[in-house]
Amino acid sequence: MAACCVFLGSIILAIILLIFFYPPGLPKVSLSSLTVTKFNSTGDHISGYLNMQFQVLNPNLVTDFFYHDVNCSVYHDKDHLASTMSPGFVHPARETRQISVTVHLTPGTTARGIGDDLATYDFTDFDVKLTISVVRVR
């Protein structure tokens, strides 16, 4: 009986140790919506606003994160078009948070080749990079 309790106790202890000391999983980020407003283009010069919503999941059972400033950068091919910083926040364990970012492409922003894309295909690709430095709170 006592041996059985010790055995069960050590399993429970192992699970607790695993939960608290297992390396935390990274936040999972997905882009849930993207809209473009006031878009204007003349050749390879563009302007407008990219409005994005990201969903960020903290997959951990007990680890809270603190995010420092969030840097959202937009690229077309290799051209860096613009960046927007948003304030950091605390992201509790198991929760999903929305990050809303608007990136302003100021008039005269150069995206080489975009004029051809739009003339030929009527669409173009942007790359979006979200950079967040994460501190583990708990």
Ligand X SMILES: *[C@@H]1O[C@H](CO)[C@@H](O)[C@H](O)[C@H]1NC(C)=O
Q: Given the rule CB under 6 A, which residues bind ligand X? A: 40, 42, 71, 73, 80, 83, 85, 107, 131
Q: Which is nearer to ligand X, 27 or 48 (CB)?
A: 48
Tokens of 108: 């005269």
Nearest to 29 by CA among 109, 117, 126, 134: 134
Closest distance between ligand X and the C-beta of residue 42, in Å?
4
Q: Which is nearer to ligand X, 24 or 76 (CB)?
A: 76
Closest distance between ligand X and the C-beta of residue 92, in Å?
26
**Rounded to an integer, what distance in angstroms lies between the CA atom of residue 64 and that of residue 44?**
44
Q: Which is nearer to ligand X, 17 or 85 (CB)?
A: 85
Closest distance between ligand X and the C-beta of residue 134, in Å?
15
Closest distance between ligand X and the C-beta of residue 85, in Å?
5
Question: Coil, strand, or helix at residue 3?
Answer: helix
Nearest to 103 by CA among 32, 40, 35, 50: 50
Tokens of 105: 């492409």
**Rounded to an integer, what distance in angstroms lies between the CA atom of residue 91 and that of residue 93?**
7
Q: Which is nearer to ligand X, 69 or 95 (CB)?
A: 69
